[in-house]
Amino acid sequence: MNADNANAVLPSTRPPIVVAEGAQDVATATFGREGELLLANHAWQVLMQRSGVGPASMSNLLSPHLARAWAGEEVNTRLQLTDRQGVGCDYQIAIEGLQDREGRVIALLLNCRVVRDMPRLDNREQLLQARLETVTRELDDLCYSISHDLRAPLRAIDGFSGMLERRAAERLDDEDKRLLGVVRDSGRTVCRLIDKLLLLSRITNQPMAPATTDMTSLVRDAWLDVGGEFGGEFEVDALPSVWCDRPLLKQLWLQLLTNAIKYQQPGRNAHITIRGRREASECLYEVYDNGVGFDPRYAAKLFKVFQRLHGPDEFPGDGIGLAIVARIVSRHGGRVWAQGERGQGATFGFALPQEALFPAPGEVYPPALSGH
Amino acid sequence: MNNEQIILLVEDSDADAELTAMAFQEARIGNPILRMRNGLAALDYLFAQGDHAGRDVTDMPAVVLLDLNLPLLPGLEVLRAIRGDARIRHLPVIILTSSNEDRDRLEAYDHFANSYVQKPVDYDQFVQASRQLGLYWLVLNRPAPRRDV
């Protein structure tokens, strides 16, 4: 579009004029400086109705791209919108600046084409599947913004109360300082919990890339990360190899080993042993320790999020480690267990199916979540 | 070390900007910190345009501390614009963000970030990190010489 045309078609009044011409499958709109819609074709209106996105939130969604276009760049990008039924649809969006005679950008022209259409939903199952994909993606985005946005105020709580502590050091008595310390500790606890919950969410949602994995070397690998300061004896039997996602299983071993190290019995020479065997159609692995153990009546509670059998004064922790273990094992179609007595040590075990119950490398698992 | 050269901080959160300034002060880094609240303002400064028209483009910050989530223009786009311009493409850019997500780290390095640092929530660790950043980027690191383009 040249400068003359642009000047001719840009109205100064609102609401937008709808131009019912041009390609029916390309939604076209023109935006002004404030992000306001100046001009749109029929396909754009259809798109708006279908997606259920109001003009204001549309302009918000597009604002980083519009900003680039105002800076003189030609923008090509993809955008996902969700329709009123909660099903996602992908669009290819091109934005270019319309210039006046002096070459100043005075408006933006946006063309929007459907790349991946909303699925034709012939039956209820397909609709549910499509919804599930969309919800999974939204959950992913939610976790992402939590990791960004929740940390900033926590940093401010810790930073500014620390600053107050330092500046007012001479004016504060011991009780005042203790109270400030509680504020800072609580902020850090929330932050640790966020990190753990994000880890749990990633473990639940990330695609798996399973392969035959040498468990003995994986355990030794994990031990290098966490076993450095352990003063007792550590022993690994020859473990059966198994079909699994290596990064997830490494995470599992990190959690089990950390636990075994943490719950040592004071005054006793600590001993951790890892054993494994094949049995029926499963590969079984067990971690034995001679630590403080636990009350067997609560064994089932151990694998639930935020459940702890020891107070934070006894052993620090937040009750997420074993939930992560259970989640990883369940994604592999396996099972977990715990055995122990108070003061008599504990055994944590899991079994994975010998045969692959899930797809080969490259395929996304579970298949229902293949929207990424 | 040139104490006059500025540190360009691109950060939308007032609290974070103040904390960063205080952390650098506590870490005894004397360079003045110039703060931009969004990506477009940062580019206007670096390219000496808009509010900063007439500034000498070759007078570069010692280092850019760049947040990822920024209004108007995201951090990665700022980084892309810097790396795409011969006059300023050698500018050291450190991504300083709350995020430790794999995809953010990967994208930052894909766009040729010099470094990626997750802002610690613990303020004492933040001061410690600022001290190390200052020591490395303002003292040890030798930047590219000026080039006339």
A23: exposed, middle or buried (Cβ count in 10 Å: 0-12, 13-18, 19+): exposed
Q: What's the predicted TM-score (pTM) here?
A: 0.57
Residue A216 tokens, joined: 């003995």
Closest CA to A201 of A331, A357, A364, A48: A331
Token pair listed for A251: 């995470």
- Residue of chain B minimizing CA distance to A153: B15
- Cβ atoms of A32 and A38 within 8 Å: the answer is yes
With contacts defined as CB-CB under 8 Å, which chain A residues touch B46?
A: none
Q: Is B69 on the interface with A (CB under 8 A)?
A: yes
State residue A362's pLDDT score. 42
**What is the Cα–Cα distance from A163 to A183, expressed in whole angstroms?**
13
pLDDT of residue A366: 42
ipTM: 0.72
Q: Which residues contact B84 (CB under 8 A, 6 or more apart)?
A: none
Angle between helix axes A246-262 and A321-331 (nearest 10 degrees) is 150
Query: Are the C-beta atoms of residues A98 and A109 closer than 8 Å to each other?
Result: yes
Residues of B in contact with A193 (CB under 8 A): none
What value does the mean pLDDT take over residues A239-266? 91
CB count within 10 Å of CB A190 equals: 16
Question: What count of other Cβ atoms lies within 10 Å of the Cβ of residue A205?
Answer: 15
Chain A residue with Cα closest to B47 = A71
Give the percent of chain A with pLDDT over 70.
78
CA distance A155 to chain B (A): 4
- Residues A245, A257: Cα–Cα separation, whole Å: 18
- List the alpha helices (DSSP H) in A263-372: 321-331
Q: Say what the pLDDT of residue A286 is.
A: 95
Q: What is the 3-state secondary structure (H, E, C) of A133-165?
A: HHHHHHHHHHHHHHHHHCHHHHHHHHHHHHHHH
A·B CB contacts under 8 A = 67
Residues 24-63 of A with CB under 8 A from B: 63
Which of chain B's residues have a Cβ under 8 Å away from the Cβ of A147? 98-101
Residue B45 confidence (pLDDT): 94
Which residues does chain A have within 8 Å of residue B68's beta carbon, measured at their own beta carbons? 148
Q: Do B121 and A188 touch (CB under 8 A)?
A: yes
- What is the sign, positive or negative, of the torsion defined by CA atoms of A226, A228, A231, A232? positive
What phi-psi label fits residue A191: left (phi over 0), alpha (psi between -120 and 50 degrees) or beta?
A: alpha
Domain B7-140: give its CATH code: 3.40.50.2300
CB contact under 8 A, A163 and B22: yes
Residue A7 CB contacts under 8 Å (≥ 6 apart), including other chains: A100, A101
End-to-end, the C-alpha distance of chain A in Å comes to 36
- Residue with token string 């940062």: B42
Asked whether the CA dihedral A319, A321, A325, A328 is positive or negative, the reply is: positive
The residues that bridge with A271 in the sheet, in sequence order, are A233
Q: Which of B98, B102, B123, B125 to mutate to test the interface with A (most CBs of A within 10 A)?
A: B123
Chain segment B39-59, per-residue pLDDT in tens: 989 999 999 988 898 898 888
pLDDT digits (tens, 9 = 90+) for B55-70: 988 889 999 999 998 8
Which pLDDT does position A303 carry in this prediction? 83
**The pLDDT of residue A308:** 65
Spatial contact of A147 and B99, defined as CB atoms under 8 Å apart: yes
Tokens read off for B87: 């006059």
Is the pLDDT at A85 greater than 70, yes or no?
no
Q: Is the pLDDT assigned to residue A355 strictly greater than 60?
A: yes
A306 touches chain B (CB under 8 A): no
Q: Hey, is the C-beta of B22 within 8 angstroms of any chain A C-beta?
A: yes
Chain A nearest CA to B142, separation (Å): 31
d(CA B59, CA B46): 9
pLDDT score, position A295: 81
Q: Is B49 helix (H, G, I), strand (E, B) or coil?
A: coil
Is the distance from CB of A81 to CB of A51 less than 8 angstroms?
Answer: yes
Does position B28 have pLDDT exceeding 60, yes or no?
yes
Please give the domain boundaries of chain A with CATH numbers for all domains.
3-118 (3.30.450.20), 125-205 (1.20.58), 211-369 (3.30.565.10)
- What does each C-alpha distance from A164 to A155, A176, A185, B27, B38 come to in angstroms? 14, 11, 15, 17, 29
The reply to whether A155 touches chain B by the CB within 8 Å rule is: yes
Residue (of A74, A116, A113, A107) closest to A92 by Cα position:
A113
- Confidence label for A234 from pLDDT (cuts 50, 70 and 90): very high
Residue type, A170: E
Contact A90, A51 (CB under 8 A): no
In this predicted structure, what is the pLDDT of residue B100? Answer: 79
Q: Report the gap between the CA of B3 and the closest CA in chain A (Å).
A: 25
Residue of B nearest to A154 (CA): B121
